[in-house]
Structure 1
């Protein structure tokens, strides 16, 4: 069920599925729609309560004028959970930039998080990616080019964006229900999406340094799911990118993913074979399996609370 929830005076678009069972909160990646999580949320909601929402400016959530950083996301999520009357510890999933936000939340409110699942998550050492020697890849598509495009899109109308982008779906998005596909096409044509992304990018290096300073998670159960490096290299080669640079990028990204297991003394690393960064689309079964394994560990302990 989709609805709007007032959080600090702004309406956030929220989707909840399932009425009983363990609460599961999913934080999506930067510029990503929660509709993409259809298969994961449908399966998990059969026995659990699944909560997804769009951060301010994303989807149909109102854009606020405040600073868009992970601290703001932590505050908003804490307030949203209060409004939804989620009072018990929950399983927190975070994908990509949403994983960075999830790390921040878990460190701020360790007693609220029964377990943390990071899905190809942005690292608190993300600046290490900027030191890589990737001349061909950077020349074809640099961060500066992407930011300029976001700025251009942020200044256009929804009608202009629809005509300019002429949105199409990735193969795995095309397998989703027709109504979900329609939502995804409209999602990328809203100028506030690009305003929100620009605002989040502006702060993410400072966010990462702060999150790193907050330390580790002690013994919070932690699952780290990473993408398939060879799969990503093959995809990049098919697009004409040099294998040598792809190997450098995937080697560093993979190392950052593996290092996230150090955040907790109770951690497990899972590599999603045949999956790109969009693991929730390529291998939703892997995410579902990890969550179910996590819940099987947590539920027995609740019997004695």
Structure 2
């Protein structure tokens, strides 16, 4: 991927802009994800139109303002400024995975006139706090997947040096076999070996729960193409059970997740739910062809109007 830095004022964002034409497809990454994971999809879609994918502040080599607490409002403004800097004035299609879908929905509420299509890939729902509230009521899940423990782990990683992080990542992911890493694997190692990444993830995660206080809603049902890709709930339940979670707890949790994921279809009168059978949360990795075909279907749909 041909990456470069774009100065948006108090920080610089690492981006890849590939292809030509309209509409511009903007990919908003999930928490802790690298744009390299999307390279195949970017290559495919850029054959049809312009694709812009970027690392949020603190990801990759994107810089971060020391006073920036990574609230979703700040992420939305960063993206809007980036679009202006890249002279993208026409309406865009946003593709958001996980937390990136959460950010995409926030962008939609702030700048509805700048979006002509939206694709949510197992997106964090705006009412994600309901999921976390239920987790606290489920004894084994609350013990095994405690939010505070995860945040504390990220806080611990954020205070390590680059070299210590690289040692830890190389041991956990690559079994210390660093001599034969591919270019993509080397890039992944570098991406995961920056303490700033974990500081930013911690802040994004904390502010994710703060958003519940804002009661953010789409005021009026929109009339744009909307595709909501939803993971295979049975696979998620099986995975939890295989990791020691009782079937009843796993089913209660996934039932609520599925309900909230599918409710997102109501954002637009032209919404469609696509169940990604055989896929877990990272649908873009498990079935990239489905993601490519879905993006192309929205491109075609907006071209016809």
Question: TM-score normalised to the size of structure 2?
Answer: 0.91
By how many angstroms is 1:210 displaced? 3.0
1:113-132 map, 5 Å? 113-132=115-134
Residue aligning to 1:50:
51
Structure 1 residues 153-168: aligned runs within 5 Å = 153-166=157-170
Give the drift of 1:267: 0.5
Q: Deviations over 1:131-188 (max 9, x none)?
A: 3232112212311110110110111111011122325559xxxxxx932222112211
Task: State the match for 2:178 in structure 1.
Answer: none
Contact kept? 1:226, 1:254, Cα under 8 Å: yes
8 Å Cα contact 2:96/2:119 also seen in 1? yes
Which runs of at least 4 in structure 1 moved beyond 6 Å after TM superposition? none
Match of 2:250 among 220, 231, 246: 246
- Is 1:271–2:275 an aligned residue pair? yes
Deviates more, 1:106-115 or 1:160-169: 160-169
CA spacing shift, 1:41–1:125, aligned 2, 3 Å:
same
Report the CA distance shift for 1:225/1:211 in structure 2 as closer, same or farther (over 3 A).
farther
- State how 1:31-50 maps to structure 2 within 5 Å: 31-50=32-51
Conserved 8 A contact 1:92-1:115: yes
Partner of 1:173: none
CA 1:49/1:282 → structure 2, altered by over 3 Å: closer, same or farther?
Answer: same
Note the residue ranges of structure 2 that are not aligned, 5 or more in a row.
175-180
Specify the alignment match of 1:174 in structure 2.
none
State the partner residue of 1:60: 61
CA distance in 2, matches of 1:144, 1:88: 42
Instruction: Report if aligned partners of 2:221, 2:266 keep a CA contact under 8 Å in 1.
Output: no
1:22 aligns with 2:26: no
1:55-100 C-alpha deviation (Å, 9 max, x unpaired): 1111111122223111111111111011111111111011111111
Deviation at 1:192, TM superposition (A): 0.3
With over 3 angstroms needed to count, the CA separation of the structure-2 counterparts of 1:167 and 1:222, relative to structure 1, is farther
User: TM-score, length-normalised on structure 1?
Assistant: 0.91
Q: CA deviation at 1:20?
A: 3.1
Q: Following the alignment from structure 1 to structure 2, what is the Cα–Cα distance between the partners of residues 128 and 185?
A: 34
Partner of 2:260: 256
The aligned runs of 1:102-113 (5 Å cut-off) are: 102-113=104-115
Are the structure 2 counterparts of residues 244 and 257 from structure 1 closer, same or farther at C-alpha, using a change threshold of 3 Å?
same
Q: Does 1:178 align with 2:182?
A: yes
Structure 1 gap ranges (5+): 171-176
Q: Is the 8 A contact 2:161 2:195 kept in 1?
A: yes
CA distance in 1, matches of 2:273, 2:203: 31
Change (3 A) 1:98 1:167: farther
SS in 1 for 2:304: helix
Query: 5 Å matches for 1:89-100?
Result: 89-100=91-102
Of 52-61 and 137-146, more deviation after overlay is shown by 137-146
Q: Secondary structure at the match of 2:224?
A: coil
Corresponding residue for 2:86? Answer: 84
**For the residues of structure 2 that align with 1:184 and 1:286, how far apart are their CA atoms?**
24
CA distance in 2, matches of 1:253, 1:107: 22
Offset, 1:207: 2.5
Map 1:193-272 onto structure 2 (within 5 A).
Answer: 193-210=197-214, 212-272=216-276
Secondary structure of the 1:221 match is strand
Q: Could you tell me which of 74, 77, 83 is aligned with 1:75?
A: 77
